Amino acid sequence: MKSLRVRLNYTTIIKYFLLLVWTIITLYPLIFTVVSSLKTQNDMFSNLFGLPKAIIFDNYIKLFTQIKMGRNIINSLIVSTCTVALQMTISSAAAFVLARFNFRIKTGVRVFFMFGLLVPIQSVMVPVAMIAKQVNGYNSLLFLTVIYTAFQLPYYIFILTGFMKNIPKEIEESAVIDGASFHRVFINFIVPLSIPSIASLSILSFFSAWNELLLALILLKKDTTRTVSVALLTFAGDMFADYPGLCAAVVVTVIPTVIIYILLQKNIVQGIAAGAVKG
């Protein structure tokens, strides 16, 4: 309930102060980085705190022309969108049967998947690299997509199953009475009703794939196939003295996620809060 009268007693002021302190701690480093990316190196080192003496976009231009970061962005985009598409299709199908049907091996299957939630990806990097060697998966965006999907499966199946369980039985029953087949029930009834959940999970899946570092680092060895995270690391090594340049690279890396976040944050936040509190 919002209080209609804003009582300005000192406790309220203190509360705002604390919230503002954390806001500054959160936002200032980010804003500083954006502002710095618009400066020349001289400007940055002589004028660390101020606004740019002259706003220049050279750092960004350099990223796309000289360093060809555009290619890395496209790679990340391909991997992330394909991972989301593959992930949501496979998980929702699996979640559908785990949530709406009873069959003998159901519990076993659920536990089978849950096991994957506990395992850190670093524990399996070597075997995965071995598989990559055998199927020629190095430098393959497709292989990376498949790996990302496989590793995220337990988490998304877990959440989607929980969500789909809450859909009322009557909807399914009336669909069957109307003659809907197994597949129809899924495609025309359960999926549309699960859209809110699928939407927020899609966003999370996209972010996971976009931000992932380790597997991309191990599997993508050629400059042309690298994703954004790995490219960023390479720049950090190559242009280590060029702080404004690095700031620009950082900004370019996070801008897609920030845009998606600002537009869709309600979905994201809902998805997480619901999953954790119910789950």
Partner 1 sequence: MKSKQNFKNIILYLLPALLLYSIFELYPMIQAVFLSFYKWNGIGGANLKFVGFNNFISIFQDKVFWMSIKNLGIFLVLGIVSVITISFFLAYLLSLELKGTKFFKVTFFLPVVLSVTAVSLMWKMILDNNYGLLNTLLTNIGLGNLARAWLTDPSVCFIVIVLINSWIFIGYYTIIMLAQIISIPKEIFESLNMDGAGEFTTIFKAVLPLSWDVIGICIVLVTANIMKAFDLVYVLTSGSFGPSDINQIPVGLIYYKSFISDQFGQGSALSTIVMILGISLSAVMYFKIFQKADNN
Question: Per CB under 8 A, which of residues 206..245 are in contact with partner 1?
Answer: 207, 210-211, 213-214, 218, 228-229, 232-233, 236-237, 243
Could you say which of 5, 9, 22, 136 contacts partner 1 (CB under 8 A)? 22
Q: List the one residue out of 42, 43, 41, 38 whose CA is nearest residue 58.
A: 38
Residues 6+ apart with CB under 8 A from 91: 153, 156, 157, 160, 201
**Token pair in block for residue 173:** 């029953």
- Interaction residues for partner 1, span 154-213 (CB under 8 A): 154, 157, 172, 176, 182-183, 186, 207, 210-211, 213
Q: List the one residue out of 175, 224, 168, 156 whose CA is nearest residue 193.
A: 168
Residues in contact with partner 1, total (CB under 8 A)? 98
Q: Which is nearer to partner 1, 101 or 192 (CB)?
A: 101
Does 113 sit near partner 1 (CB under 8 A)? yes
- Interaction residues for partner 1, span 65-84 (CB under 8 A): none
Does 108 sit near partner 1 (CB under 8 A)? no
**Token pair in block for residue 276:** 């954790």
| Least spacing, CB of residue 68 vs partner 1, in Å | 18
**Token pair in block for residue 144:** 């990376």
Buried b (16+ CB within 10 A) or exposed e, 238-262: ebeebbbbbbbbbbbbbebeeebee
Does 111 sit near partner 1 (CB under 8 A)? no
Binding part of the chain for partner 1, among 50-58, 59-67, 149-157, 191-199 by CB under 8 A, reads 149-157
Q: Which is nearer to partner 1, 28 or 57 (CB)?
A: 28
| Least spacing, CB of residue 273 vs partner 1, in Å | 4
Q: Which is nearer to partner 1, 79 or 250 (CB)?
A: 250
Distances, alpha carbon 76 to alpha carbons 86, 90, 97, 228, 231, in Å? 15, 21, 32, 6, 10
- Interaction residues for partner 1, span 35-64 (CB under 8 A): 45, 48-49
Q: Which is nearer to partner 1, 96 or 163 (CB)?
A: 96
| Least spacing, CB of residue 276 vs partner 1, in Å | 5
The pair phi, psi for residue 193, each rounded to 5°, is -70, -20
Q: List the one residue out of 219, 229, 221, 214 whose CA is nearest residue 122.
A: 214
